[in-house]
Amino acid sequence: MEATDDLASFEVVNLSNPGLLDLGTDIDGHVQESKDRTKLKTKLISAWNNLRYGGWSLKSKPRLSKSSPVCLLRQSYQLSYSGKQDRTVMSVSEGSLCRVFTVSMCFFLPGERESFRRAFSSLLWMTYRRGFPLLDGSALTSDAGWGCMLRSAQMLLAHGLMLHMMPAGWTWPATHHQTKDDLEVVDTHALEDSLRESRRDSGKHRRCSLGTALDCETHEERTHRRIVSWFGDLPSAPFGLHRLVELGRASGKRAGDWYGPAIAAHILQKAVAASEVSDLAVYVAENCTVYVGDVLNLCGTSRTDLSARCRSGWKSLVLLVPVRLGSDMLNPAYTRCVKRLLELQCCMGIIGGKPKHSLFFVGFQDDQLIYLDPHYCQAAVDVQQDNFPLESFHCKTVRKMPFNRMDPSCTVGFYAGSRADFQALCSDVTKALTSSEEKYPIFTFVEGHNEEEMSCTSDSFTHIKSKDRPGRIKKKSCLEEFVLL
CB distance 455 to 444 below 8 Å: no
Q: Identify whether 148 is a catalytic site residue.
A: yes
User: Residue 322's beta-bridge partner residues?
Assistant: 411
Q: Which helix (H) or strand (E) holds 50?
A: helix 29-52
- Of 148, 288, 377, 395, catalytic: 148
Q: Write the CA distances from 367 to 68, 339, 372, 408, integer angstroms.
A: 11, 9, 17, 16
Convert 287-329 into a string of H (helix), E (strand) and C (coil). Answer: CCEEEHHHHHHHCCCCCCCCCCCCCCCCCEEEEEEEEECCCCC
Burial level of 365, CB count in 10 A (0-12/13-18/19+)? buried
Burial level of 234, CB count in 10 A (0-12/13-18/19+)? middle
Q: Which helix (H) or strand (E) holds 223?
A: helix 219-229
- Of 159, 177, 266, 375, catalytic: 375
- Of 373, 407, 421, 428, catalytic: 373
Q: Identify whether 71 is a catalytic site residue.
A: no
CA distance 443 to 429: 10
Q: Identify whether 463 is a catalytic site residue.
A: no
Q: Write the CA distances from 339 to 5, 288, 335, 412, integer angstroms.
A: 22, 19, 6, 12
Strand pairing report for 64-65 and 4-5: antiparallel
Instruction: With both helix axes pointing from N to C terminus, report the angle between 241-248 and 261-273 in degrees, rounded to the nearest 10.
Output: 110
CA distance 235 to 294: 32
* DSSP-derived 3-state class of residue 199: helix
Q: Where in the sequence numbering do the catalytic residues fall?
A: 148, 373, 375
